[in-house]
Amino acid sequence: MKNRLLWPLLALVALLLLNLVVTPSFFSLRVQDGHLYGGLVDVLKNGAPTLLIALGMTLVIATRGIDLSVGAVAAIAGAVACVHIGTSDSAGTAIVGMVLALALCALLGLWNGFLVAGLGIQPIIATLVLMTAGRGVAMLVTEGQIVTVNNTAYKQVGAGFVVLPTAILIALLVLGVVAFVTRRTALGMLIEAVGVNPEASRLAGVRSRTIIWTVYVFAAVCAGIAGLMISSNVSAADANNAGLWIEMDAILAVVIGGTSLAGGRYSLTGTLLGALIIQTLTTTVYTIGVAPEVTLVFKAVVVIAVCLVQAPKARAALSFRKVAVPS
Amino acid sequence: MTESPPPVVEMRGISLAFPGVKALQDVDFRLFPGEVHALMGENGAGKSTLIKTLTGVHRPDSGQVSLAGEDVAFSSPGEAQQAGISTVYQEVNLCANLSVAENILLGREPRKLGGIDFPAMRTRAAEVLARIGVHIDPGSSLGEHPIAVQQLVAIARAIAVDCRVLVLDEPTSSLDAGEVAELFRIMRVLRDEGVAILFVSHFLDQVYEISDRMTVLRNGALVGEHLTADVDRRTLIAQMIGRDLGALEAIEDAAEKHQVEGPVLVRAEGLGKRGAIEPFDLDIRSGEVVGLAGLLGSGRTELARLLFGADRADSGTLLVDGKPVKLRGPRSAIAAGIAFSSEDRKGEGLVADLSIRDNLVLAMQAARGWTRPLPRRTKDQLVEKYLKALDIRPANPDALVRTLSGGNQQKVLLARWLVTEPRLLILDEPTRGIDIGAKAQIQQLVTTLAAEGTAVLFISAELEEVVRIADRIVVLRDRRKIAELDGSTGVDEVVELIAGGAAPEPEKVVS
Amino acid sequence: MTALSQRVPSRFLPVIATVVLFVLAFGAGSARYDGFASGQVIANLFIDNAFLIVLAAGMTFVILSGGIDLSVGSVVALSTMVTAAGLRAGWPVPLVVLAVLLIGSTLGLLMGIVIHKFDIQPFIVTLAGMFLARGLCFLISVESVSIKNSTFRDVATAAIELPGGVTITYNVVIALVVVAVAVYVLHRTRFGRTVYAVGGNESSALLMGLPTARTKVGVYVISGFCSALAGLLFSLYMLSGYGLHAVGMELDAIAAVVIGGTLLAGGVGYVLGGVVGVLVLGTIQTLISFQGTLSSWWTKIVIGVLLLVFIAVQRTMVRR
């Protein structure tokens, strides 16, 4: 475990140090109107949606699955909430809207779970359906418009502060809850068992279908919360661009964090590190003055590097050389 | 068979070790042109490893392979094929989505103008098929044909090149009698053409019918090479599974045989599954050790899986405590107090990447559901208890199961089920591939459990072991239950039955 | 395995279903809207989707081999960018074309090598390829670059008259040539048949002594080449290069191939199925635009539903 987290941790530290060199004020924090500002806070705040989605993705990947639909689900959540809120500024309406949105997301998660666990369709393909159709559904909800809202309560979710930005607090809260639930109940162990060896788990009497169903619903709800956060931050729902490619970032975060796409043992701490690395990378590219779009190149390099470090074949090739020299 | 021609294949002193297992130890093997040579042995005897060493899948750690007098070292199946060694595997290793002709000739197809010459390819494929007397449309897709025909197509592919050695690795396991006859006819044709055929089958009748010579392996070592005509079934079976000398005598004393009276715990009435095991009746009483004896492929595992609901029976009923139980899957079996430790420890038993602790409590936790976790204290107590009781090493609950030795892995798997306090414990080859010490411990444990009132169904390829600890022995042959003997029966008598010499008719045949 | 496959046409069933779907969709359009059932509407299906046809052809190779290529949309964008930037810098057209095709094939080769040599899932490797190609676009320019080269514009706007007053563009001709070559390679060469073999059962193919390594890498080279070519066609269609071109086009290509009856597990399918799949997607778009009141997002929903239906059909076929 410690070994697996070492590389991501080093990468994160290196990135942060690079930022420190480029912008000496990067680590400085300042308090203004009881709100905390600073480079690190920005990284955390901007990384919150990715982290949320990556948390759900971690559990899905641990069961040997993958969920490509999270970006679309996030867009749907934002769309439903904003359309429900409309021009209202009441907190009640905002809460009802968000609850509606999350309930719908849970339904969508049930749908994914049905395709994967119920019908036995490959997860990549099963969730591709919702990835494709989901944005259409989001646009159906918003009728193709970018729906803007002006609701104080809703704004709190993504752009508000309770000393720290609310987005950070929500993401950390979800992280805490997931960590607590998976450790304190047997869920974590059973998820890993299903991911490592589905047949052995079945013969040991594990209800693997229920487990798989649960993680897809959880992933969709996480995506929903992230979607609300994204839309609240800009007080608008953009069905086309909200959460675009966030599924890729989330998968990336999970993989960087040391959870294998082949399923099995997962690390929530690793995912946290992975999400932070991705966000810091984006920030770094921005601060060193390269066009933000070019971040993609760096991401590509990171993906390949991390995968190569983790791939058994690449490792074998490296260690083989080590062994071969002395003998 | 005279020994006049020199062997086409000669393997000398082959040794090969995998992590933790000595798969082959100093094995010699000869194969002569124009003979059918049977390679005999139980699971884990090293048959497949020896074949894979011959066909270039594995490289031996030591020893030399020579083909027609020349030393060779193949690094891939492709190279072995080029040299004239073709292999047909138990599972048809062809592509069902391609045509028959493509499956026979792809990789060496006739070409015209840079593309594949399909008419020529079909003609050539038809010729090869005709050589072995198979008449199907070469243009048809392979997947349309039954497995038996696919098997023949695989042989056609093997002989489409200049093939000196044909390896048939359990080609008959999914064929019916007529199809086997057809296969044998083809094998005789090829043999008479001078092809050396290496044949693996766990059906003794077939081996005696077709083979000229045989080599017997056991636990990775050579036991003997015989002309088939010189060795009778009893001797052969004794060589394959019989006397494991010099070990485990101690158990004998502990395992006092007793006729267990008392209520029947689990009763199978005409339970069966087509293609796996014919309908059988079986009673298992609390506190009784029932041993299953039979060769590989006799239906041992299949019977066990039906009792556990791992596979669904398509006939018969299962009664627990006299009440019919519908097993929809392992969960319902577990709920009825039945536990099953699979012979395939890695694939169907342990969760290799989880710790000893997690593996130990997996079944119990699964029964409770994820919302009701075992309290940490209970968990620790259970783990501590069983680490000690079964002498699992390392005694570190956090060690990953994948790092354990075979014997300790087996103990962890056993402990997983003991934790659930089953009423019937089904053990499928619990002692295979583990060291002698662990073996004795497990046998001891079975005896103790029975004395405490647990019913045990004990399956092992080692007859000695079954005879030693079972109160009652059920004998299986060719996927049928053929006899039920009491525990005082001797090894020789069981060998006799398995060999099919003076087999009594099955006392109850349900159809 | 047996019941359905006893009847020969079972492997054609998905393709036949797709053709029926296309005919139904087109028939429905013809019945409802005047001017729908014209030759030019069909020609336009090809004109507007020429690049997608080329992409689908390349994607078919990859999916048949049991893999997937998520990078194609980004490689299209990169190709438009290289084209536009190259022409702006005054490179001759042949050099630009060569450079684009070379870049696309090389990217494919690199991804194929990583997938095969290091045994990393195609999904992740091509995801990295997707990021890389997109990022490279923005390295060249963040803005859209328009193409002013006269040769290029002439080719783009040239119309080929077909009998019956129907016109098509050179794009369509190129796309059809690609499809013809793809069909030939897949069905008439050892490489093509090995693609099917690898997708059908990779370990069998290896034990049969087929060159699985070369084949697995080869399909990504082909897909990379097709993406680059599709990028050239897209440049002709849009007359600009832009890093945000062809966003999500990989999903359209995958959807077209799947709707065209190719099994995502590999081993079963036809290039022509993918072409019909593209036409189905195109017809849905045309229908929605003819309808007028239905909004464009219905396209996505309908595609999603179609995907679902075809996946479900495939599932039952595989289970048998």
CATH number of B170's domain = 3.40.50.300
Q: Where are the domains of chain A?
A: 34-311
Beta bridge partners of A165: A161
pLDDT reported for residue A325: 32
Smallest Cβ distance to C268: which of B81, B97, B116? B97
- Interface touch B141/C8, C-beta < 8 Å: yes
Looking at CA atoms only, how far is residue B353 from chain A in angstroms?
7
φ/ψ of A266, rounded to 5, equals -125, 165
User: Among candidates C242, C21, C280, which has minimal Cα distance to C143?
Assistant: C242
Q: pLDDT per residue over A42-51, tens digit each?
A: 899 999 999 9
Residue A16 has pLDDT above 80, yes or no: yes
pLDDT of residue B179: 79
Beta strands B70-72 and B315-320 are unpaired
Q: Smallest Cα–Cα separation from A270: which of A52, A58, A44?
A: A58
Q: Give the distance from residue C197's alpha carbon to the nearest chain A alpha carbon, in angstroms.
A: 21
Task: Please say whether the beta carbons of B211 and B36 come within 8 A.
Answer: yes
B501 has pLDDT over 60: no
Among residues of chain C, what percentage have pLDDT more than 70?
95
Residues in chain B closer than 8 A to A187 (CB atoms): 370
pLDDT reading at A319 higher than 70: no
What pLDDT score was predicted for residue A144? 86
Residue numbers of the domain that contains B36: 9-241
Scanning every residue of chain B, which has its alpha carbon at the shortest distance from the alpha carbon of C189?
B115
pLDDT tens by residue, C287-306: 888 877 777 788 888 888 88
Q: Measuring CA to CA, how many Å separate B508 from each of A135, B275, B281, B472?
A: 65, 19, 8, 17
Residues paired with B280 in a beta bridge: B271
Q: Tell if the CB–CB gap between C296 and A144 is shorter than 8 Å.
A: yes
Size of interface A-B (CB pairs under 8 A): 77
Residue C307 near residue C255, CB atoms below 8 Å: yes
* One domain, residues B436 and B456: yes
3-class SS of residue B268: strand
List CB contacts (< 8 A) between B351 and chain A: 192-193, 196-197, 200-201
Of C114, C121, C305, the CB nearest to A304: C114
- B287 & B431 share domain: yes
Report the SS3 class of residue B14.
strand
Residues pairing with B485 in the sheet? B473
Among B338, B345, B351, pick the best mutation site for testing chain A contact (most A Cβ within 10 A). Answer: B351
Give B178-225 pLDDT, tens digit per residue: 778 888 998 998 999 999 999 988 777 888 999 999 999 988 889 889
Looking at the 3D structure of chain B, how many domains does it have? 3
B330 and B413 belong to one structural domain: no
- Structural domain includes residue B319: yes
Cβ neighbours for B18, distance < 8 A, ≥ 6 positions apart? none
CB atoms within 10 A of CB B19: 4
CB atoms A197 and B352 under 8 Å: yes
Give chain B's mean pLDDT: 85
> From residue B56, how far is each of A88, B59, B159 by CA, in Å?
74, 7, 18
Shortest distance between the Cα of B119 and any Cα of chain A, in A, equals: 38
What pLDDT, on the 0 to 100 scale, is given for residue C297? 81
Contact B96, B143 (CB under 8 A): yes
CB hemisphere CA count around B214 (13 angstroms): 28
Sign of the CA dihedral with C298 first, then C304, C305, and C307 last: positive
H or E element in which residue B340 lies: strand B338-341
Out of B78, B114, B143, the one facing C5 most closely (by C-beta) is: B143
Which tokens hold the place of B500?
């099919």
Asked if residue B171 lies in contact with residue B90, where contact means CB atoms within 8 angstroms, the answer is: yes
CB contact under 8 A, C123 and A293: no
Beta carbons of A201 and B331 less than 8 Å apart: no
Q: Report all structural domains of chain C as residue ranges with CATH numbers, in order of start.
A: 9-319 (1.10.3470)
List, in order, residues 6 or more apart from B178 with CB less than 8 Å away. Answer: none
Residue C66 φ/ψ, nearest 5 degrees? 95, 10
Nearest-by-Cβ selection for A300 from C123, C132, C307: C132
Q: What are the pLDDT digits (tens) for B396-406?
A: 899 889 888 77
Contact B470, B460 (CB under 8 A): no
Minimum mean pLDDT among A107-111, A283-287, C221-225: which range? Answer: A283-287
Which two tokens mark A183? 């450790």
Nearest of A106, A295, A199, A207 to residue B370 by alpha carbon: A207
Considering only CB atoms, A303 lies closest to which of C131, C137, C138, namely: C131
**If you measure CA to CA, which chain C residue comes closest to A134?**
C301
Are B191 and B119 found together in one domain? yes
Nearest by CB to C197, from B81, B82, B98: name it. B98
Strands B480-486 and B289-293: unpaired
First-to-final CA distance of chain B: 43
Looking at beta carbons, which residues of chain A come within 8 Å of B353? 192, 196, 264-265
Q: What are the chain B neighbours of A200 within 8 Å (beta carbons)?
A: 342, 347-351
* CB contact at 8 A, C235 and C81: no
Give C300→chain A minimum CA distance, Å. 5
Cβ atoms A286, A268 nearer than 8 A: no
Touching subunits for chain C (3+ Cβ pairs under 8 A) = A, B
Among the partner residues B95, B102, B109, nearest to C201 by beta-carbon distance: B95
Residues of chain A found within 8 Å of residue C296, distances taken between Cβ atoms: 139, 144
Are residues B62 and B144 located together in one domain of the fold? yes
In whole angstroms, give the CA distance from residue B194 to residue B185.
15
- Whose CA is closest to B171, among B195, B197, B190, B191? B197
Q: Give me C34's structure tokens.
A: 């005047």
- Which range, of B71-80, C218-227, C271-280, averages the lowest pLDDT? B71-80
On average, the pLDDT of chain C sits at 89
What's the average model confidence in pLDDT over B218-247? Answer: 78
Instruction: Look at the alpha carbons of A269, A272, A278, A284 in this order and tell me if their dihedral is positive or negative.
Output: negative
Using a CB-CB distance cutoff of 8 angstroms, which residues of chain C are in contact with residue A136? Answer: 297-304
Nearest Cα of chain B lies from the Cα of C289 at a distance, in angstroms, of 40
Please compute the mean of the pLDDT values over residues B292-315 and round it to a whole number: 89
Residue B168 sits in the same domain as residue B291? no
The reply to whether B58 and B196 lie within a common domain is yes
Subunit contact B106:C8, Cβ cutoff 8 A? no
- What residues pair up with B67 in beta bridges, in sequence order? B9, B70
Residue whose token pair is 């490689």: C75
- Whether B405 and B438 map to the same domain: the answer is no
* Residue B246 in domain: no
**Where does a domain end: B360, B389, B421?**
B421
Burial of A105 (0-12, 13-18, 19+ CB in 10 A): buried
What's the full length of chain B, in residues?
Answer: 511
CB contact under 8 A, C298 and A120: no
Please state, in angstroms and rounded to a whole number, the distance separating the CA atoms of residues A297 and C130.
Answer: 9
- B246, with CB counted inside 10 A (0-12, 13-18, 19+), is exposed
> Chain C 251-270, CB below 8 Å of chain B: which residues?
267-268
- Flag whether B217 is in a domain: yes
B contacts of A203 (beta carbons < 8 Å): 308, 310, 330, 340, 342, 348-349
- Is there a contact between C170 and B89 (Cβ–Cβ < 8 Å)? no
pLDDT of residue A256: 86
In a domain, B253, yes or no: no
Strand segments, DSSP code E, in B104-195 are: 111-112, 115-116, 165-169
Q: How confident is the model at residue A327 (pLDDT cuts 50, 70, 90)?
A: very low
- Residue whose pair of structure tokens reads 């796996």 in the numeric block: B276
Predicted pLDDT of residue B49: 87
Residues B412 and B426 in one domain: no
Contact C196, C188 (CB under 8 A): no
Same domain, B301 and B397: no
| Chain C contact set for B146 (CB, 8 A) | 2
Which residues of chain B does C208 touch, with a Cβ-Cβ cutoff of 8 Å?
Answer: 93-95, 103, 106-107, 157
B103 and B150 in a single domain? The answer is yes
CA distance B283 to A237: 67
Tell me which chain C residues have a C-beta less than 8 angstroms from the C-beta of B93.
Answer: 201, 203-204, 207-208
Distance (Å, whole) CA A146 – CA B76: 60
Q: Phi then psi for B341, rounded to 5 degrees?
A: -105, 115
Question: Which tens digits make up the pLDDT trace of C154-174?
Answer: 988 888 988 888 899 999 999
B302 and B159, same domain (yes or no)? no
Q: How far apart are the CA of A92 and the nearest CA of chain B, in angstroms?
A: 32
Distance CA C7, CA C314 (A): 16
pLDDT single digits (tens) C52-90: 999 999 999 999 999 999 999 999 999 999 999 999 999
CB contact under 8 A, B95 and C209: no
Nearest CA in chain A to C302: A133
How many helices (H) and strands (E) chain B has is answered by 17, 22
Q: What pLDDT digit, counting tens, does each position of A49-93 carry?
A: 999 999 999 999 999 999 999 999 999 999 999 999 999 999 999
Of the given ranges (A291-300, B255-264, C36-45), which has the lowest mean pLDDT?
B255-264
Per-residue model confidence (pLDDT) at position B245: 42
Task: Flag whether pLDDT at A41 surpasses 70.
Answer: yes
The CATH number given to A34-311 is 1.10.3470
User: Nearest CA of chain A to the CA of C308: how many Å?
Assistant: 6
In this prediction, residue A315 carries a pLDDT of 64
List the alpha helices (DSSP H) in A86-207.
91-113, 123-142, 152-159, 166-184, 187-196, 198-203
pLDDT of A326 strictly over 50: no
* Min distance B12 CA to chain A CA atoms (Å): 25
Summarize pLDDT for B473-495 with one digit per residue, the tens: 999 988 899 999 988 888 888 88
Q: Which residues pair with B476 in a beta bridge?
A: B481
End-to-end Cα spacing for chain C: 6
Please report residues of C whose CB lies closer than 8 A to that of B52: none
Whole-number pLDDT of residue B242 = 60
**A and C: number of Cβ contacts within 8 A:** 132
From CA B306, how far away is CA B398, in angstroms rounded?
34
Structure tokens at A101: 């949105």
Distance CA A206, CA B341 (A): 15
Residue B143 has pLDDT above 50, yes or no: yes
Verify whether the Cβ–Cβ distance A139 to C295 is below 8 Å. Answer: yes
Q: How far is residue A221 CA from its own chain's centroid?
A: 11
- Where does the pLDDT of residue A162 fall: very low under 50, low under 70, confident under 90, or very high at 90 and above? confident
Rounded to 5 degrees, φ, ψ at C38 are: -105, 155
Helices (H) and strands (E) in chain A, counts: 14, 6
Q: What CA–CA distances, in Å, run from B398 to A10, A111, A268, B351, B401?
A: 26, 37, 19, 13, 9
Chains in contact with B, where contact means 3 or more Cβ–Cβ distances below 8 Å, are A, C
Query: Which residues does C209 contact at the CB level (< 8 Å), separation at least 6?
Result: B77, B78, B81, B82, B107
Which of B393, B421, B449 delimits the end of a domain?
B421
